[in-house]
Structure 1
Amino acid sequence: MAERIWLTSYPAGVPADIDVGQYGSLVDLMEESFRTYSSRVAYSFMGQDISYAQTDSLSQSFAAYLQGLGLARGDRVAVMMPNVPQYPVAVAAILRAGLVLVNVNPLYTPRELEHQLKDSGAKAIVIIENFASTLEKCLAATPVKHVVLCAMGDQLGVVKGAVVNYVVRSLKKLVPPFDLPTAVRFNQAIARGSKADFTRPLLKADDVAVLQYTGGTTGVSKGAVLLHRNVLANVLQSEAWNAPAMDRVPAGVQPTSVCALPLYHIFAFTIGMMLTLRTGGKLVLIPNPRDIPAVLKELSKHTVHTLPAVNTLFNALATHPDFDTVDWSQLKVSVGGGTAVQSAVAKLWLEKTGCPICEGYGLSETSPSASCNPVTSLEYTGSIGVPLPNTWFKLLDDEGHEAAPGQPGEIAIKGPQVMAGYWQRPDETAKVMTPDGYFKTGDIGVVDARGFFKIVDRKKDMILVSGFNVYPNELEDVVGQMPGVMECACVGIADAKSGEAVKLVVVRKDPALTEADVRAWCKENLTGYKQPRVVEFRDELPKTPVGKVLRRELRDK
């Protein structure tokens, strides 16, 4: 696209381009906020507030501890936790120590965790004890040498922390038995680090900050390499985009954001944690967003200004009988991402809060935000909005040329938030990057005269379950290894709750194989959102003359 036709659709005051080079690294941004907002609350968790000054002190101690382990600059450290205060502390520490963060889904199975730890070459992991048994099963096969173990109540004070840990371990039985004899407890690590020397490394904008794992067309999970400047750019782009709404927060009032999406997901990581740090806001950490009564009870204690969420969460909140126990009158920005927002949900949300859901679009590879609807818009557009400042979109045909005007094409994105490539996979990087620096998303879109883009199809066979990518090849590989399975295929089917769900079609080798057998195998090897909603047995799979499975036929039936 020779010109950015979408600029005329920008709200007043949002510039076409911003200075994305304001900081040398994410550490510069964090340390500036720690100084500027030292007395403010940074994180609120289960009724406990943690200030910017405390986050500064705890993270520096933990950074010193990590350096004391002999970890060298650029070494990878994995973090596998839900939304607890130890997460942002660990992230700040890892980056301050000059190390690279590897975000890990805490619900991974041993198979999935082993792949990510081996692929990233992680030398250390910070993990909550609830998932320690998963790590124990694969630890010996990974390069991890150091394990730091967190508990739910670590940052809640001695008495409350002990009560919370007792409930989690003994009453709710949420911590399966594990044996990790060399693991060090998080609070122990902080105590040791507080007595050790910390050396602040000189970081550059082009240093690697995060490995953000994403599925691939091959089904193998790959690490998107996000540099400090990629995430920084996206934080500043998002701040500029939200400004017309956030400028309406009264002077002297601390902006408050809800973090109900998991921090290991790039949407919550950048738009929840990092953007809130930049603006001196308070982040309300929600450890379990599926417990809607608990979420609403927590939110009733705060004045909420921003809520990044996925369609399923907006819907679950808006339709819950306790919805009105929360004061939504100050809500300025509701960002919908991860998956398409449904029009009925957008309409209900606007009716009940007066704050429209601005649907955005992005990927792990774009840190993540690439486009968004204007925060001033009151209508549901069904589009993914317009590209953010400093960002260019174009639509490509199958030959890689720009699609003719009015024709659909693959959305390709260029901007400072686009990743450096896939971790140690130049072949995979070459497949998605054009010679002129655009990232090919695999999503097919159209654009209207005002520059609003809409997704109409997918080039890849990816299934989008509640904002999480599920790659059929990975599932088929896992299920195909099951004794009793001759072959299998999976497709996405429409689902009112999660947008799409997984349908698995199996051809038996062993006639005695049951649906329960298949489900048990999937449960052992695949995290929850990848597991099939529907399991169907057939005598054969529909195929082309060359033997390629006709997924469309499996969907249509």
Structure 2
Amino acid sequence: MAQAPFFFSQRLTELAKTHAQQIALIDRDSETTFAQLEQQAKQLAGNLHALGIKHDQRVAVWLPNCLAWVQTFLACAHLGATVLAVNTRFRSKEVADIIGRGKADWLVIWPEFKGIAFADILADVPADVLARLKGIVTLGDFQSPAVRAIAARGCAVYDYARLIDTPSTPHPAVGNAGAICFTTSGTTSLPKFVLHDQHTLIVHGEAMQEAYGYNADSRILASAPFCGAFGFSTLTGGLVTGCTVVSEAVSDTHSTLTQLRRHRVSHTYANNESILKLLEAADSPADFASCKLFGFANFSPAVTSLLEQAERNHLPLTGLYGSSELQALVAAQPTHEDAGDLRVRYLAGGKLIHPTARVRVTDPSTGKILATGESGEIEIFSPSLMIGYLDNPEATAKAMTTDGFFKTGDLGYALSEQQFVFQARMGDSMRLSGFLVNPAEIEQTVESLPGVKACQVVGGTLGTKTLPVAFVILREGEQADTVGWTAACKREMAGYKVPVHFEVVTSFPSVESANAVKIQKNKLRDMADAWLAKRS
């Protein structure tokens, strides 16, 4: 498919001809062929256009992994509308930020999915933010109390079932355009919106086919959320190359093992902790008989027995690297001697999958390019790179070098011009439940709570998990209200961001440098680890 089209509508039309009866997506055991998916996406696009969704508008998609997520993305791509991917675990403050700062024109939600009170969450979104939406499209029972509650806020509400099932007037495809935005933790308290266009996404999907060995028999399990780069790249790597993608809306160890056996999964990608749980829960190596490759991202550094378990279960395993800006799975450690250095196969990082991509490591203080084996900031040039940060040219320029390399903010060392090892984040970002979170985002929320003068948040380690712990300095004369603080945080943030403990201190440990007084977060992490150890 080297000469195949580079925007989604054209690619889908081609696949509907060449792979018409091939299964494109398995969603909760319901199968959809490429021919069916093309018809559904184009029909939905026509009806969305009739509603008023147009080229360059922005559609916030607040759905779990499901067929409707894929249909909606493809329909928006057909129209040239940009999808703002919203995590189903987000709460009112985060949703308001995406709608407001992301300038969303439309919202697509599943109000009653998995017991999440979407209507209640929207009720906490400020009216002036919600008012910018031209309409809300809802999945599920259109007559439900949740949908009526949304409509009661003055929002125009539309039934997804009618939009997907009703024949529509065909609308011509727009072609290449901004396709999707991921939210990512940045150097400020507010997440940045990472924008990719259709061409870049499809080129990356094709590179994945070559690098990971996809063929007509490949079945790719996508258990990571489509709203993030990890899950989305897993989806599109299969979708644009004619492979079957197996989707999980809610993933746990038991359900994933069931999917592996039932659908003869050949490839999947997950964090190291999740893969270890699969290996520990498996009945025998036969559970992984169909598996050609499992790639892992090192989200839980405390996990140490993964390699031993993989070898015991005869599971081909390799380390991965990616980011929202570069796309996930942009690098994987080689599995054959002629492809690169096998000594680091089970370390995070990898060989860049695009033939023209390059990696280098620089001294962050001087910008000097370091020799192979020397640790510094990883910089990457790749065709998979984002267009930029949405509506933020200053941040985009700051993230790039003058010769086109992306400054990852990650610590590591190069083995060659295409292979490298990732060691750690250079900043203080935390990996919580698989998501990279800037502690400043949590700190800002905690500092808005009654009685709080200042806050520092760090990630403490409990077993293989990283959990957020907040250190708080109180305002004079105030007392701690940990129950109230926890409840307020749960209303405003995803559950994985809510501190598991609030520790009241009189000051933060700090050290003076030549330019500033710096808080010693390493000491706070030690304190957090000690508290979590007592708790376990």
Unaligned runs of 5+ residues in structure 2 are: 113-117, 528-536
Whole-Å separation in 2 of the counterparts to 1:48 and 1:237 = 28
Structure 1 length as normaliser, TM-score? 0.84
Question: For 2:358, which of 392, 410, 420 is the aligned residue?
Answer: 392
Which letter maps to 1:256?
A: R
Per-residue deviation, 1:269: 0.9
Q: 2:221 is matched with which residue?
A: 258
Counterpart check, 1:368 vs 2:328: yes
Counterpart check, 1:556 vs 2:526: yes
Counterpart check, 1:278 vs 2:252: no
Whole-Å separation in 1 of the counterparts to 2:199 and 2:147 = 40
Please say which of residues 476-485 and 452-461 is displaced more in the overlay: 452-461
Q: 1:5 is matched with which residue?
A: none
Whole-Å separation in 1 of the counterparts to 2:225 and 2:60 = 15
Q: 1:250 is matched with which residue?
A: none
| SS of equivalent to 1:115 | helix
Counterpart check, 1:215 vs 2:180: no
8 Å CA contact retained: 1:213, 1:221 = yes
8 Å CA contact retained: 1:33, 1:277 = no
Question: For 2:318, which of 339, 358, 362 is the aligned residue?
Answer: 358
Per-residue deviation, 1:521: 2.2
Per-residue deviation, 1:55: 1.3
Counterpart check, 1:200 vs 2:172: yes
Distance 1:323 1:80, change over 3 A: farther
Counterpart check, 1:331 vs 2:331: no
Counterpart check, 1:300 vs 2:272: no
Per-residue deviation, 1:77: 0.9
Distance 1:75 1:449, change over 3 A: closer
* 1:448-504 Cα distance to aligned partner (Å, 9 max, x none): 369642223322211112431110111111100001112110112234333x32221
Which letter maps to 1:367?
A: Q
| SS of equivalent to 1:300 | helix
Q: 1:241 is matched with which residue?
A: 211
Whole-Å separation in 1 of the counterparts to 2:346 and 2:260 = 28
Which letter maps to 1:106?
A: T
Q: 2:531 is matched with which residue?
A: none
| SS of equivalent to 1:190 | helix
8 Å CA contact retained: 2:333, 2:347 = no
* 1:91-134 Cα distance to aligned partner (Å, 9 max, x none): 11110122111111011111100111112211111111132432
8 Å CA contact retained: 1:371, 1:387 = yes
Whole-Å separation in 1 of the counterparts to 2:263 and 2:424 = 39
Q: 2:278 is matched with which residue?
A: 317
Percent sequence identity over aligned pairs: 23
Which letter maps to 2:467?
A: A
Q: 1:159 is matched with which residue?
A: none
Counterpart check, 1:536 vs 2:503: yes
Q: Where do 1:145-544 residues align within 5 Å?
A: 145-151=134-140, 178-180=149-151, 182-192=156-166, 194=167, 196-204=168-176, 207-243=177-213, 246=214, 254-271=217-234, 273-290=235-252, 292-320=253-281, 323-324=283-284, 327-337=287-297, 339=299, 342-352=303-313, 354-376=314-336, 380-389=345-354, 390-397=356-363, 398-448=365-415, 452-498=419-465, 500-509=466-475, 511-544=478-511
Structure 2 length as normaliser, TM-score? 0.87
Per-residue deviation, 1:441: 0.5
Per-residue deviation, 1:289: 1.0
- The CA RMSD measured in Å over matched residues stands at 2.7
Per-residue deviation, 1:211: 1.4
Of structures 1 and 2, the one scoring higher in RCO (CA 8 A, sep 6+) is: 1
8 Å CA contact retained: 1:413, 1:439 = yes
Whole-Å separation in 1 of the counterparts to 2:6 and 2:75 = 17
8 Å CA contact retained: 1:333, 1:375 = no
Whole-Å separation in 2 of the counterparts to 1:66 and 1:386 = 41
Whole-Å separation in 1 of the counterparts to 2:136 and 2:148 = 16
Q: 1:10 is matched with which residue?
A: none
Counterpart check, 1:79 vs 2:51: no
Q: How many residues align?
A: 505
Whole-Å separation in 2 of the counterparts to 1:326 and 1:76 = 46
Whole-Å separation in 2 of the counterparts to 1:82 and 1:103 = 10
Per-residue deviation, 1:239: 1.1
Question: For 2:125, which of 138, 151, 155 is the aligned residue?
Answer: 138
* 1:259-288 Cα distance to aligned partner (Å, 9 max, x none): 1111111111122x2111133222221111
8 Å CA contact retained: 2:300, 2:464 = no
Counterpart check, 1:64 vs 2:36: no
Which letter maps to 1:506?
A: V
Whole-Å separation in 2 of the counterparts to 1:218 and 1:73 = 30
| SS of equivalent to 2:65 | coil
| SS of equivalent to 2:410 | strand
Distance 1:550 1:96, change over 3 A: same
Q: 2:115 is matched with which residue?
A: none
Q: Where do 1:25-40 residues align within 5 Å?
A: 25-40=7-22
Distance 1:138 1:229, change over 3 A: same
* 1:333-375 Cα distance to aligned partner (Å, 9 max, x none): 21213626744123213322x2222211110001233311124
Whole-Å separation in 1 of the counterparts to 2:81 and 2:172 = 11
Question: For 2:75, which of 80, 89, 93 is the aligned residue?
Answer: 93
Per-residue deviation, 1:147: 0.8
Whole-Å separation in 1 of the counterparts to 2:305 and 2:149 = 45
| SS of equivalent to 2:479 | coil
Distance 1:135 1:326, change over 3 A: farther
